[in-house]
Amino acid sequence: MEAEGIPTTQISLIREHTEVIKPPRALWVPFELGRPLGRPLDTVLQRRVLLAALELFKAPGGPVLANFSDEGTGDTGNEDRESVVWACPVSFSAPAEDASDTEGLIDAFNQEVAELRNWYDAGLQKTGRTALVDFTPDGAAQLLGAYVLNGTATTAKADVPFAVALRLAAQDLRAFYFESVVARPGATAPDSKTFNRWFWNETSAGRVLRAVKERCKDEPDPSLRMTGTMLLVPLDQA
């Protein structure tokens, strides 16, 4: 694009990589991976990041690597947001204690999804956008629950291998939980470490995905075994 006379700019999350690649223009931001625009729901901050990246078009030459600072701005109204101890605004019923009680686990899981659905729908109506791509919340829950209960390895997406469908359903399920808990009035968006700790340790959804992982590991299909071993549960939560 640059060779054709079309200027480009980008946002960098890993400064060391950008220093090696040397793109024409880049804005390094001090945010965690997956959040190039900063804190979720903080539209003022996100707009500042985008404008800072676009400002690099004014640079007379390159490569240009600029730093974005989120210190002392006083304009976001929530500078201390990440330092506040986050507590999930949703209280779920205690999941079944007996790990062998698969039906009880799936019942608790379906109840969680039902409890969160109203908040997810409210958030979707308010923002008009969602990170869910391939599955509805109910569709993801049905696919994962059926596989845990009886090993059903079918999906409505006939052109998608089941191992891929499992991974996509797991991704959309986590996005659904995140968007639901931050949609409640007065809720704040947790950082990724806090959210992961809650999701994997305090929800039936986390236990269901661990159960999916264990079932995958015993499958004759190598793609399912790989999915269970590497792609469903983070290594630090296994």
The HSE-up count of residue 37 (CA atoms within 13 Å, CB side) is: 11
pLDDT of residue 24: 93
Residues 55 and 92 in one domain: no
Alpha-carbon distance of 83 to 14, in angstroms, equals 22
Residues 118 and 151 in one domain: yes
Residues 48 and 144 in one domain: no
pLDDT of residue 136: 95
Phi, psi of 26 (to 5 degrees): -150, 145
In a domain, 157, yes or no: yes
> What's the number of domains the chain is made of?
2
Amino acid at position 33, single letter: L
How large is the average pLDDT for residues 144-154?
89
pLDDT of residue 82: 44
The pLDDT tens digits of the residues spanning 24-50 come to 999 999 988 888 998 877 889 999 999
| Cis amide prior to 220 (ω within 30 degrees) | no
Alpha-carbon distance of 201 to 182, in angstroms, equals 18
In a domain, 79, yes or no: no
Tokens 């040397």 belong to which residue?
22
Average pLDDT value for the chain: 85
Residues 95 and 168 in one domain: yes
Amino acid at position 166, single letter: L
The pLDDT tens digits of the residues spanning 101-147 come to 899 999 999 999 999 999 999 999 988 999 999 999 999 999 999 99
Report the relative pairing of strands 64-67 and 25-28 from DSSP bridges: parallel
Strands in 64-67's sheet, in edge-to-edge order, are 10-12, 25-28, 64-67
The pLDDT tens digits of the residues spanning 52-107 come to 999 999 987 779 999 998 654 433 334 444 445 566 767 676 655 554 589 999 99
Alpha-carbon distance of 176 to 142, in angstroms, equals 14
Alpha-carbon distance of 109 to 207, in angstroms, equals 9
In a domain, 173, yes or no: yes
Which residue pairs from 51-59 have beta carbons closer than 8 angstroms and sit at least 24 positions apart in sequence? 52/27, 53/9, 53/10, 53/11, 53/25, 53/27, 54/9, 56/9, 56/25, 56/26, 56/27, 57/7, 57/9, 57/25, 59/25
For 17, the domain range is 10-67
- pTM metric for this prediction: 0.74
In a domain, 95, yes or no: yes
